[in-house]
C-alpha cells in the first residue's frame, strides 16, 4: 500500500512539473505573421534556442499590382506614304537610278520585316512595324518608352492595361539615350512613384513589367540588380549615354520601354536591352536608370528635345592595363583623354591624363557612372570633381554648360 501511494504521488508531482514547463514555454500563441524581430518575445524565444531560424514567405504581389496598370502596350507602324518616301530616298541613292525607273511598286500592309513584293525591276517594298512597352508618367497621358520601339513609325497606338486603346502623338525623342515620349488624350491615368536609382544596390530585388513577344501582355518577371553603370556601346548614336542597371529579370523583345520597378513597386528604370547570342533572353537585361530618364523626359515634354549639359571631355574607363600604361596605381575611375576647348571641363581647368575619381562625393567606378551623373544634370549645375593628377588628389569645382 505504501509503495502504491509513492507511485501515485510521484506521478502527480511529475505531471505538475511537465505542465508548468509547458505553460512556461507556451506563454502566448505566436503566428508567423505576428512576429517582429525586435519584439521581446522573439528575442526571448531566440535566446532560449527554441527555434533555429524563421523563414518568412516572399511575395511581390503588391509591387506587381502597383506597377502593372501603369505599363502600356505600344504598336508602331510605318504608313504606306512614309514607306514610299523611304524607298524614293533609297532609289535616288541607287547607282543605277538614272537608268531605271521604279514606278510600279505595290504597297501592301505586312506585319514584319519581310518584303511584300519582289521583282527584278522593283526594289523591295515593305512597311516596317514593331511593338514594345511604355510607362505612364503623368495622369494627363504622357508615356515614356524607348526610341528604338518607334523611331521608324508615324502611326503609334497605345493600349492600356484595361484594354482601352489610343492613338499616340510623338512629343519628342532622344537617340543618344534611346528614350522617347508619347502623349495620349486621356486623364486620371495610373502612374508610378519614382525610386532613387542612385540608391539602388547590387542584390536588390526588382521586377520587369512589359509585353514580351507582342502577345504576352502585362507580364511580370523578378530578379535582382546584378550590376550598375554598364556601358555596352549598343546605342548607335554619337555622344550616346549608357549607364544601364543590369538585372537578371527575364526580358524579351516587346519588353523594351517597359518598367523596371523595385520591391515596393516604385519605378527604378526603363527596360531597354538584353545581352544575348540568340535574340532572346539569355540571362541578363539592362534598364536606363530613372534618375537619368526623368531629366530627359522633363526636357522633351517642356522643350521637345533633350537639353543636354556636357562636361566636354573624351574619357576612357580605367583598368589595370591602362593604369600600367600611364604609370598609375589607380584602376577605377575615368581617365580624361582629351578636353574640348571652351567646354565646362576646359573652363574648370581639367586636363588630359587627369583621372576622375568622384563627383560630389559619389565614386566614379566606370565611364557609365560619369555619363549618368552628367546626363541627369542641367546647365548651370556645379559639381565638385575629385581627380588624381600626377599622383595627387585634387578637388575641382566644375559648372556645366549646355
Residues acting as catalytic residues: 148, 178, 256
Collapsing DSSP to helix, strand or coil, 170 comes out as strand
Q: CA angle at residue 376 from 373 to 377, to 5 degrees?
A: 90
Q: For residue 342, which of 371, 311, 299 has the smallest C-alpha distance? A: 311
Query: Of 208, 131, 174, whose CA–CA distance to 297 is shortest?
Result: 174
Count other C-beta atoms under 10 Å from residue 383's C-beta: 21
Alpha carbon distance 401, 100 (integer Å): 51
Between the CA of residue 218 and those of 51, 65, 161, 210, 260, what are the distances in Å?
A: 41, 11, 7, 5, 13
- Count of positions (residues) in the chain: 402
Q: Which long-range contacts (CB under 8 A, 24 or more apart) does 90-94 make?
A: 90/123, 91/123, 94/123
Compute the distance between CA of residue 237 and CA of residue 178 in angstroms, rounded to an integer: 9
- Rounded (10°) CA dihedral 149, 151, 152, 158: 50
24, 16 contact by CB (below 8 A): no
Strand-pairing partners, residue 167, are 157
Which three cell numbers, joined as nine digits, stand for 201? 544596390
What's the CA gap between 206 and 81, in Å, rounded? 42
Q: Where are the extended beta strands (E) located within 18-128?
A: 71-77
- DSSP line for 233-268: --S-STT----EEEE-S---TT-TT-EEEETTS-EE
Q: Encode 219-240: b = buried (16+ Cβ within 10 Å), e = exposed.
A: bbbbbebbebbbbeeebeeeeb
Amino acid at each position: 500500500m505504501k509503495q502504491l501511494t509513492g507511485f501515485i504521488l510521484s506521478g502527480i508531482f511529475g505531471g505538475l512539473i511537465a505542465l508548468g514547463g509547458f505553460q512556461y514555454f507556451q506563454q502566448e500563441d505566436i503566428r508567423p505573421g505576428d512576429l517582429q524581430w525586435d519584439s521581446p518575445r522573439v528575442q526571448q524565444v531566440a535566446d532560449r534556442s527554441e527555434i533555429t531560424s524563421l523563414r518568412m514567405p516572399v511575395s511581390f504581389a503588391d509591387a506587381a499590382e502597383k506597377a502593372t496598370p501603369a505599363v502600356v502596350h505600344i504598336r508602331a507602324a510605318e504608313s504606306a506614304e512614309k514607306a514610299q518616301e523611304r524607298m524614293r530616298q533609297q532609289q535616288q541613292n541607287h547607282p543605277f537610278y538614272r537608268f531605271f525607273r521604279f514606278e510600279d511598286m505595290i504597297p501592301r500592309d505586312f506585319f514584319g520585316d519581310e518584303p511584300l513584293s519582289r521583282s527584278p525591276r522593283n526594289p523591295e517594298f515593305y512597311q516596317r512595324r514593331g511593338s514594345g512597352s511604355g510607362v505612364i508618367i503623368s495622369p494627363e497621358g504622357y508615356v515614356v518608352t524607348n526610341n528604338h520601339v518607334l523611331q521608324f513609325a508615324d502611326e503609334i497606338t497605345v493600349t492600356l492595361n484595361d484594354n482601352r486603346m489610343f492613338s499616340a502623338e510623338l512629343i519628342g525623342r532622344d537617340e543618344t539615350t534611346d528614350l522617347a515620349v508619347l502623349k495620349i488624350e486621356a486623364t486620371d491615368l495610373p502612374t508610378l512613384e519614382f525610386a532613387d536609382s542612385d540608391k539602388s544596390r547590387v542584390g536588390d530585388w526588382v521586377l520587369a513589367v512589359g509585353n514580351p513577344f507582342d502577345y504576352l501582355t502585362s507580364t511580370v518577371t523578378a530578379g535582382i540588380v546584378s550590376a550598375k553603370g554598364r556601358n555596352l556601346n549598343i546605342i548607335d548614336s554619337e555622344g550616346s549615354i549608357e549607364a544601364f542597371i543590369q538585372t537578371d529579370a527575364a526580358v524579351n523583345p516587346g519588353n523594351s520601354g517597359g518598367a523596371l520597378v523595385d520591391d515596393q513597386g516604385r519605378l527604378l528604370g526603363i527596360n531597354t536591352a538584353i545581352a544575348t547570342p540568340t535574340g532572346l533572353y539569355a540571362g541578363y537585361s539592362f534598364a536606363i536608370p530613372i534618375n537619368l530618364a526623368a531629366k530627359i523626359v522633363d526636357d522633351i515634354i517642356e522643350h521637345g528635345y533633350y537639353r543636354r549639359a556636357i562636361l566636354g571631355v573624351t574619357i576612357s574607363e580605367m583598368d589595370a592595363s591602362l593604369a600600367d600604361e600611364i604609370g598609375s596605381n589607380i584602376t577605377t575611375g575615368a581617365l580624361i583623354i582629351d578636353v574640348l576647348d571652351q567646354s565646362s571641363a576646359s573652363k574648370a581647368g581639367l586636363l588630359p591624363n587627369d583621372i576622375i575619381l568622384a563627383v560630389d562625393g559619389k565614386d566614379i567606378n566606370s565611364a557609365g557612372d560619369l555619363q549618368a551623373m552628367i546626363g541627369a544634370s542641367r546647365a548651370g549645375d556645379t559639381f565638385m570633381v575629385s581627380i588624381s593628377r600626377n599622383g595627387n588628389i585634387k578637388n575641382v569645382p566644375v559648372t556645366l554648360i549646355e
